[in-house]
Amino acid sequence: MCEMSAKSATTPLFNEAESPLTWLRARRGKDGKPLISEAQYLAGERLRMDFERAMLARRTTLNWELAGTGSRSAGASAEMSDGAIAARQRYHAALDSVGPELGSILAQVCCLSAGIEQAERVLELPARSGRAVLGLALTALARHYGLGDAKRHGAITGWGVAGYRPALDTVEG
């Protein structure tokens, strides 16, 4: 008999071998560096996790949760968990921060697991431009999340203006 731990029962399963980001992180460019940095990879994975937790993916099967209740989707949003609502807000905030031009390739590659060539076709990008556009999008996303070298420009690192601390007089004796 197979037993599942409490954590594995609540954590969504994800096959990293199917992720385009994992493939890009494992491949090296002509200079010997990975095609995407660790910060870019982590930003893309964070976006994917919020997408999955927000339940934004299309269903491929029938939704039996509302069967026999007599209502279609009147209470569907009321029944959505607070975690899913928060994930939806984080997902939309992240895409808003990178803009619609870069957000579309992030949604295709990170969330829908489309390959770069497929994303180029869907978004009508020029051939062989997808990797460059995705790199820019992932850098902007990493900046939004404050990951790696892509720290937020102008982020507050402390409160107060220069010289705000009072000088202490030393007492002799």
Nearest alpha carbon to residue 20 among 135, 106, 110, 103: 110
Q: What residue spans define the domains of the chain? A: 14-58+79-145
Q: In the predicted model, is pLDDT for residue 41 greater than 90?
A: yes
Torsion sign over Cα 118, 121, 123, 129: positive
Candidate ranges 82-86, 135-139, 145-149; pick with highest mean pLDDT: 135-139
Residue environment code for 47-86, b if the CB has 16+ CB neighbours within 10 A, otherwise e: bbbbbbbbebeeeeeeeeeeeeeeeeeeeeeeeeeeebee
pLDDT computed for residue 77 by the predictor: 54
Cα 114 from Cα 19, distance rounded (Å): 8
Look at the pTM and tell me if it is higher than 0.95.
no
Place of tokens 């601390």: 165
Q: In the predicted model, is pLDDT for residue 168 greater than 50?
A: yes
pLDDT tens track for 71-99: 555 555 556 788 899 999 999 999 999 99
Nearest alpha carbon to residue 141 among 28, 24, 46, 26: 46
